[in-house]
Amino acid sequence: MSIEIRDGGLSTTVQDTGRFGQYHIGMPPSGAMDGFAHDVANALVGNPEGAATLECTYQGPTVEFRDSRVIAVTGPDMSPELNGEPIPLWEAVAVEAGDELAFGFATEGTRTYLAVSGGVDVPEIMGSRSTYTLIGLGGHEGRALEAGDSLALGESGDRSGRAGSAVEGSHRPSYGEDDPIRIVMGLCDYRLTEECKSAFLDAEWKVGAEADRVGYRLTDGIDIEFVEREQPFGAGPDPSNVVDLGYPVGSIQVPDEPIVVMRDAVTGGGYATVATVISPDRDRLAQRPTHGTVSFESVTVEEALAAREERSERLATIRKALE
Amino acid sequence: MPAETIGRTELTDVRYEHGGDDHVFVELAEEMSFDANFRAMAITQQIRERNLDGINEICPANASYLIQFDPETLHPDALIEELRELEESVELTDYRWDTRVIEIPVLYEDPWTEEALMDFRERHQDPDSTDLEYSARINGYESVEAFIEAHSGQPHMVTMMGFVPGLPFAFQMVPRDRQIEVPKYVAPRTHTPSRAIGYGGAFTAIYPVPGAGGYQLFGRTPVEVLDVEQELPGFEESLVFLDPGDIIKFRQIDREEYDAIRERVEAGTYEYTYEQTEFVPGEFFERPYEYNRELVEALE
């Protein structure tokens, strides 16, 4: 069976946990920008971790269901309504054939996830259903959803018994927060002066207008100062230039204003990279809207690993409670 | 007297860097050299063969490489220790790899990239010249024709894939004093035609799809380097045509031939001209011009 898209919303794409093993040909992982909200949505409706959900950006879509399913909406509140009646977030909700789910705008945060029992069943490409719009690959025809699209769903059986199960309030992230985003300094941070490194960490940045699934440009912070050097052969003459190298997902490059590379990453290039957002905080950064505030806190790799483990444990606790 | 061999570079300052909790970035050298690139390829090939649990991505780059992994399975410090051991054990002189010599036809000074570069003249170092005129001049060539002759005359090795799927960075297989080096645009263009041949730093790039770009524009190829649908000949196994280690020979073509090849590409009947071969770094380092001639002759 399927769901029918009546209105695509601002930019709604099919995403899962990502497409791995092809970064070396220039293929980014894509996948849910906020992996935590995506994973919890799947857990609520009883889907396996790898099932595809709809990632809604700023304003969600309007969809019509064609059979009985269990759905869950997680992430920032876009005021979801089922047949005109508000439905709760972070809670499994039963829907019937003919029901219509509509969303408004997010007032805090940017990306909301809609999971449907059975998962969105677009074809897998290189092991993933994620949409990568830049080259029109994966998802539904490689693009954001539009009115008139019909998406197949996987088999789910009767999961109506899950309706009403919900995630405890203490496990629901806050999307209005502006706590520091944790980063591990490194990569080519030898290019920055010591003063610049500390000023970078003290600065308050704004999310620029160019903030999408490819990258977040940050503005209104500080001017980057590079250590003077004779540019190495092959790098190019600008002090921000390095011999083209791989950009980790989450890495921060400094062409002038910093850019944080996100899930639809450009996989490499010739600008100095100076730090990497730790994996649990990539979820948080993905929820910062354009003109939102970002500041950074430098952590050690051990601290980053501990934060990652904390995120995994929280997900495990949520999953266990929903079994 | 220009050098007749490829100067060897000792890599004395290898940096092992953490990319957050789930990446390790290894910078073999700050400057580009065949030594750095061949070591990046040799080491990443070894890692691939070791098939370590927890590794998701192994990405050789020009003078560095990047690994993405699950730290629950493989602790970053254990990975770095493994990489340091590999770095010590890899000997380039013992090393060789299977590769292809591939002909890429290019219409230099084509109307499409010329239109794009004229549209963004105010973002260029020298608004009064074309990208080719500027690049020829700063590299000491007396004419654009002589410069094109140099760019297309000797082959280029794909030393990295990335930026977007299918885009090769290629490094010309000549001694350093013969390498072309140009800056990127002062501010990047917001438009570059697909299949444009660009040059930045010491690298040629082929843009698979239209988009932003900062490389100097030299021409356009009628052939594809990316086929998302995998319908064209040459894309049966992968949606990208090129791999790191492939050797590209650019061949100058005229507009008539460009149109004829383009017609065949669009009809799905164009077959790439290429030959399988084995690349032996030691021989290339010793006698590059002779070695290149042998490589390219295989295409004829």
**Considering Cα of A50, then A54, then A57, then A60, what sign does the dihedral take?**
negative
Q: Which of residues 225-244 of B touch A (CB under 8 A)?
A: 226, 228, 238-240, 243-244
Same domain, B136 and B251: yes
- Its domain, for residue B138, covers 98-297
Same domain, B176 and B253: yes
Residues B166-172 have a mean pLDDT of 98
Q: Choose the closest CB to A301 out of B18, B57, B238.
A: B18
Residue B93 has pLDDT above 80, yes or no: no
Residue B146 falls within a domain, yes or no? Answer: yes
Of B68, B95, B122, which residue is a domain's last? B95
Give pLDDT, residue B185. Answer: 85
CB spacing of B20 vs A278 below 8 angstroms: yes
Give the residue with greater pLDDT, A82 vs B127. A82
Count: domains in chain B: 2
Give pLDDT, residue A323. Answer: 85
Same domain, B82 and B105: no
ipTM over 0.90: yes
Closest-CA residue of A relative to B167 is A26
Residue B190 has pLDDT above 70, yes or no: yes
Report how far apart the first and last C-alpha atoms of chain B are (Å, whole number). 30
pLDDT in tens, B226-276: 999 999 999 999 999 999 999 999 999 999 999 999 999 999 999 999 999
Q: Using pLDDT thresholds of 50, 70 and 90, give the confidence band for residue B188.
A: confident
Which residues in chain A have Cβ-Cβ distances shorter than 8 Å to B238? 25
Same domain, B38 and B158: no
A142, A264 Cβ separation under 8 angstroms = no
Residue B4 falls within a domain, yes or no? Answer: no
How many other CB atoms sit within 10 Å of the CB of residue A172?
Answer: 16
Q: Which of residues 255-274 of B touch A (CB under 8 A)?
A: none
Residues A103-132 have a mean pLDDT of 97
Q: Using pLDDT thresholds of 50, 70 and 90, give the confidence band for residue B2.
A: low
pLDDT in tens, A138-166: 999 999 999 999 999 999 989 999 999 99
Same domain, B210 and B66: no
Residues B150-166 have a mean pLDDT of 97
Of B54, B69, B95, which residue is a domain's last? B95
Q: Which of residues 197-236 of A touch B (CB under 8 A)?
A: 232-236
A290 close contact with B: CB closer than 8 A? no
Q: DSSP character for A132?
A: B
Residues B126-149 have a mean pLDDT of 96
Same domain, B229 and B281: yes
Three-state secondary-structure class, residue A107? coil
Residue B5 falls within a domain, yes or no? Answer: no
pLDDT in tens, A48-91: 999 999 999 999 999 999 999 999 999 999 999 999 999 999 99
Same domain, B176 and B89: no
pLDDT in tens, A238-255: 899 999 999 999 999 998
**Considering Cα of B121, then B126, then B128, then B129, what sign does the dihedral take?**
negative
Q: Using pLDDT thresholds of 50, 70 and 90, give the confidence band for residue A210.
A: confident
Same domain, B75 and B128: no
Give pLDDT, residue A263. Answer: 98
CB spacing of B162 vs A137 below 8 angstroms: no
Residue B130 has pLDDT above 60, yes or no: yes
Average pLDDT, chain A: 97
A126, A18 Cβ separation under 8 angstroms = no
Same domain, B79 and B124: no
Of B45, B71, B95, which residue is a domain's last? B95
Which residues in chain B have Cβ-Cβ distances shorter than 8 Å to A241? 184, 201
Residue B1 has pLDDT above 60, yes or no: no
CA B129-B132-B137 angle, to 5 degrees, is: 75
Which residues in chain A have Cβ-Cβ distances shorter than 8 Å to B31? 232-235, 243
Same domain, B91 and B108: no
Q: Give the domains, in start order, of chain A with CATH numbers.
A: 2-175 (no CATH), 181-311 (2.40.100.10)
Residue B94 has pLDDT above 80, yes or no: no
CATH code of B207's domain = 2.40.100.10
B70 close contact with A: CB closer than 8 A? no
Q: How far is B55 from chain A (nearest CA, A)?
A: 9
Size of interface A-B (CB pairs under 8 A): 189
pLDDT in tens, B201-225: 999 999 999 988 889 999 999 999 9
Q: How far apart are alpha carbons B148 and B164 in whole angstroms?
A: 26
Least confident of A227-231, B78-82, B125-129, B149-153: B125-129
Segment (H or E) for A318: helix A301-322
- Quote the percentage of chain B above a pLDDT of 90: 85
Average pLDDT, chain B: 94
Give pLDDT, residue A182. Answer: 98
